[in-house]
Chains A and B, each alone.
Chain A
Amino acid sequence: MLLVPCPHCGPRNSADLRYVGESVSRPDAESATPEHWRRYLYTRSNPAGWLRETWYCRLGCRRFFTVERHTASNQFRTPVVPGDKPEAKA
């Protein structure tokens, strides 16, 4: 069982949450090129190591949050405060 540290509900079984996936920031709609949109939609770094990812607390607080997890050992780092936006990459 993977215990996911929800910033509101505390550790919860991953089955109670929905995995949204690797965190990617939305490009600025005013200046984004098709290449930016392509990267936002599809390209993922997919590291074997620390991954910044988004979860949705489906059966708990029903909020999204970002957290860092190691994709080989499944350890978590301190969750990022909800509402924090990952810095724009595009």
Chain B
Amino acid sequence: MKPPARYSALGLARRGISGDSWPRAWRQVELRPSYDVVIIGGGVHGLATAYYLARNHGITKVAVVDKSYIGSGGSGRNTAIVRSNYLTPEGVAFYDRSLQLYNDMAGELNINVMFSRRGHLTLAHSDAALRTMRWRAEVNKLQGIDSSVIDPAQVKELAPSLDVSHHTRYPILGALYHPPGGIIRHDAVVWGYARAADAMGVQIHQKTEVLDILVEGGEGPEGKGAGGRVTGVRTSQGDIAAPIVVNATAGWASLISAMAGVELPISTRPLQAAVTEPVKVFLPTVVVSGSLHVYVSQTDRGELVFGASVDPYNNYSVRGSLEFTEELAGHVLELMPGISKMRLLRQWAGLCDMTPDYSPIMGFTPVEGFLCDVGWGTYGFKAGPVSGETMAECVATKSVPELIQAFGLDRFGHGRLVGEKGAAAVGH
């Protein structure tokens, strides 16, 4: 196999002058009749799992299948914010590992992921919110995460465009400041993992929709469900035999799991986001307000990216709504009155698989060989690398790594919910 061209400044200059095109970043190959592992979903999670399976465990007979192009779901629709200042100790340890992997990613994957550790502010507009911030800061500090509560004057210093006066409807009483948080170019993360996994022999099959998961010996209809064993998947390009199938989808997690006879505690809801026209850089940090359900960051191109909370009812449609735009604009202007003349460029929505405790569902299921990496709600992108690493370990060692032991599907039966109130969709 020919190794892919390395990306470098010299290569960029040479191609800039000569006009030569870049080689394909990953191969397009025929589907084989069988694989050791089939991963459903070609987003950050699926591709990272494939990459770490190959790199850490030497398992390369792996196929990543996606019904559309890679990164077309949640991986390309999120607001690209990464942070680790969560509330539960389980969450903090998990997301911090992800942040470390993101930090080393550009060098490891040889791709410019444009990681900007610009700091992350979570604003508090009430005493209750401020109390939660203090709680989060203490949990974070205990685990060695750089995170502290700051007062409105310090908020103003970090983000001068914010209105910190007391004349507003939701005055800013303080904020949780998390310097290691930031934004990263989400497409590059997807492409980087795809290219690196492909270079180690993993196959990526786009436009390959999974129609059914083949299970035998289960107690449900057609031998599916608890006690069964996975034998392969039926795709739009033909059947594939595989002893291990990983569900790494977001938005369709319930539907894919149902194909194996596994029911999940998930409700799918869209989350809408929008982007403005580009302007000169004026917002140096990521600003989040749980009470106002909004998060704002400025891209390197100068556009402001806005995200909201999830829609109030279940939906599989990714169309936007005018109500959302109006509400979002009102909330952003509440924080930053100075940008009232800016125009929105476009808006979009991504599907969020919400679980009852705002934590993911990872690891084994009652069907042997069928693993889940789902329920990623509003926090899937920032967890991509660590999910890949831990899911790969799960597949290779047949045991659940300590980092994700709290996130098993069986926690709902045992009443051991995680209760991650530090997630983006949760109002404080």
Contacts and interface: CB of A to CB of B under 8 A. Distances in A.
B336 to A, nearest CB: 25
A32 B315 CA distance: 31
B323 A22 contact: no
Interface in B160-210: none
B49 interface: no
Contacts of B315: 71-72, 74
Contacts of A46: 254-255, 264, 266-268, 314
Interface string B243-278: 000000000101100100001111110000000000
Contacts of B413: 34-35, 38
Interface of B: 252, 254-255, 258, 263-268, 312-317, 321-323, 356, 412-413
Contacts of A35: 413
Contact of B265 (A1, A44, A48, A51): A44
Contacts of B267: 21-22, 44, 46
Interface of A: 1-2, 14-15, 18-19, 21-22, 34-35, 38-39, 41-48, 51, 53, 69, 71-74
Contacts of B316: 48, 71-72
B224 to A, nearest CB: 15
B321 A72 contact: no
13 contacts: A15-B323, A18-B312, A19-B312, A35-B413, A38-B412, A43-B264, A43-B265, A46-B255, A46-B264, A48-B252, A48-B268, A73-B317, A74-B317
Contacts of B412: 38, 41-43
A14 B313 contact: yes
Given A15-B323, A38-B412, A44 B313 contact: no
Contacts of A19: 312-314
Interface-centre pick from B264, B313, B412 (highest chain A CB count, 10 A): B313
B314 A51 contact: yes
A72 B317 CA distance: 5
Contacts of B252: 48
Contacts of B323: 1, 15
Contact of A53 (B258, B314, B356): B314
Interface centre among A38, A39, A44 (most CB of B within 10 A): A44
A56 to B, nearest CB: 12
Contacts of B313: 2, 14, 19, 53, 69
B314 A71 contact: yes
A43 B255 contact: no
A71 to B, nearest CB: 5
Contacts of B322: 1
Contact of A44 (B255, B266, B317): B266
A1 B316 CA distance: 16
A16 to B, nearest CB: 12
Contacts of A39: 263
Contacts of A1: 321-323
A22 B265 contact: no
Contacts of B265: 42-44
A40 to B, nearest CB: 11
Nearest to A15: B323
Contact of B312 (A14, A41, A72): A14
A43 B317 contact: no
A21 B263 contact: no
Nearest to B412: A42
Nearest to B417: A42
B326 to A, nearest CB: 11
Contacts of A18: 312
A41 to B, nearest CB: 8
Contacts of A41: 356, 412
